[in-house]
């Protein structure tokens, strides 16, 4: 059974989640799904999926997180489609079906986050903008760092952005940040940047829900089973180069002059029990960003879209209220521009201009 929720959201019940996804959600998504590859700026092949619906209000571009892939976002995509938004999901280099940078497919490796940013830009320009004018950026975790840098580099591309537990500060766990940074710098300097960073490892075939970023067990197992079935979804641990690049991009994206270049509305969700990203970094960024609204989600781990029922309901409710506000504001602006255009034309005809 699918329960009715606010803002036209149909949320599968926990007890019947996997059955509902296979019976109702997956067939619906397949009816709109298309996929393909684009060649990025350096010839890296970037895989993507699109879900275009007729008369969409706008297009949602998803920038996924660390070790993630397009298929993980089936439920999120479903809600966007049902609320009138088309969806576009590229898989970042080194993830999913996109080209790998290192031979070991379980490693997440990058030299510089600007590579992710340029990949996203190629995707937006060569796929999304061929058919879409109104565009919203949805980012999660590592995808948030990529997304924020994108907004700072290309401030006129998107109309608004949703940042879900974005990586705007590194969480280095039991290791002090300074030690994690120095260690990553050292291993990169001696040519060992492709080694797993301290505390990182390969994919495990044994599920570990209790230490995961999810509160919903059914959602965790649904996604974990995808990973078990598909070797392309088994990216799991970051390299020293990835850690070094992470520290570098966070320094850059939190500079006030870069933040000030973002003019569009932002809604930023912070998970109270997040142990994957540093919430202090999110809060520092939000204070500097003049157009940002910070929303703290109680009782949620890192993946807010996989939290408990009450948190998920509040999360999606606020997302769609935000989008409705953005969409309404754009409609009003378009009407005002059209009115001014017609007024100018009338004045010219009457010889008053």
Evaluate if residue 3 carries a pLDDT over 90. no
Evaluate if residue 345 carries a pLDDT over 80. no
Which of 182-186, 230-234, 309-313, 340-344 comes out lowest in average pLDDT? Answer: 340-344
Angle CA 237–227–224, to nearest 5: 95
Q: Where are the domains of the chain?
A: 2-350
Superfamily of 2-350 according to CATH = Alpha/Beta hydrolase fold, catalytic domain (3.40.50.1820)
Evaluate if residue 288 carries a pLDDT over 80. yes
Q: What mean pLDDT do residues 3-31 have?
A: 84
Comparing 352 with 275, which gets the higher pLDDT? 275
Angle CA 318–323–328, to nearest 5: 125
**pTM reported for the whole predicted model:** 0.92
Give the model's pLDDT for residue 340.
61
Helix (H) or strand (E) holding 251: helix 240-253
Percent of the chain clearing pLDDT 70 (strictly above): 91
Place of tokens 């997440």: 108
| C-beta of residue 243 within 8 angstroms of C-beta of residue 192 | no
Q: How large is the C-alpha radius of gyration of the chain?
A: 21
Evaluate if residue 155 carries a pLDDT over 90. yes
Give the model's pLDDT for residue 353.
47
Query: What pLDDT digit, counting tens, does each position of 106-147 carry?
Result: 999 999 999 999 999 999 999 999 999 999 999 999 999 999
Q: What mean pLDDT do residues 253-267 have?
A: 98
From residue 244, give the alpha-carbon distance in Å to each of 105, 109, 249, 251: 19, 10, 9, 11
- Compute the distance between CA of residue 236 and CA of residue 196 in angstroms, rounded to an integer: 10
């Amino acid at each position: 059974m699918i329960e009715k929720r606010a803002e036209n959201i149909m949320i599968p019940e926990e007890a019947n989640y996997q059955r509902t996804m296979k019976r109702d959600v997956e067939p619906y998504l397949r009816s709109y799904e298309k996929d393909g590859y684009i060649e990025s700026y350096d010839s890296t092949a970037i895989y993507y999926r699109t879900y275009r619906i007729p008369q969409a209000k706008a297009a949602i571009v998803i920038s996924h997180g660390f070790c993630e892939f397009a298929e993980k976002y089936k439920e999120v995509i479903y809600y966007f489609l049902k609320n009138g938004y088309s969806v576009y999901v590229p898989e970042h280099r080194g993830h999913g079906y996109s080209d790998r940078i290192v031979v070991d497919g379980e490693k997440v490796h990058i030299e510089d986050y600007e590579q992710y940013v340029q990949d996203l830009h190629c995707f937006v320009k060569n796929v999304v903008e061929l058919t879409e004018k109104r565009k919203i950026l949805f980012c999660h975790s590592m995808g948030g760092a990529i997304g924020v840098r994108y907004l700072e580099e290309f401030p006129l591309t998107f109309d608004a952005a949703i940042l879900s537990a974005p990586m705007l500060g590194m969480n280095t766990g039991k290791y002090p940040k300074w030690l994690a940074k120095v260690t990553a710098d050292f291993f990169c300097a001696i040519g060992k940047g492709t080694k797993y960073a301290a505390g990182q490892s390969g994919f495990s075939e044994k599920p570990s829900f209790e230490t995961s970023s999810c509160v919903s067990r059914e959602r965790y197992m649904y996604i974990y089973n995808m990973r078990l079935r598909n070797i392309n979804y088994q990216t799991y641990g970051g390299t020293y180069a990835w850690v070094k690049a992470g520290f570098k991009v966070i320094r850059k994206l939190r500079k006030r002059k870069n933040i000030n270049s973002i003019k569009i509305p932002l809604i930023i969700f912070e998970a109270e029990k997040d142990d994957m990203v540093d919430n202090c970094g999110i809060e520092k960024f939000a204070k500097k960003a003049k157009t940002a609204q910070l929303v703290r989600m109680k009782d949620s781990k890192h993946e807010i879209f996989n939290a408990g029922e009450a948190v998920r309901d509040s999360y999606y409710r606020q997302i769609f209220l935000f989008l409705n506000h953005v969409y309404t504001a754009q409609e009003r602006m378009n009407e005002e521009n059209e009115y001014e255009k017609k007024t100018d034309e009338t004045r010219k005809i009457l010889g008053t201009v």
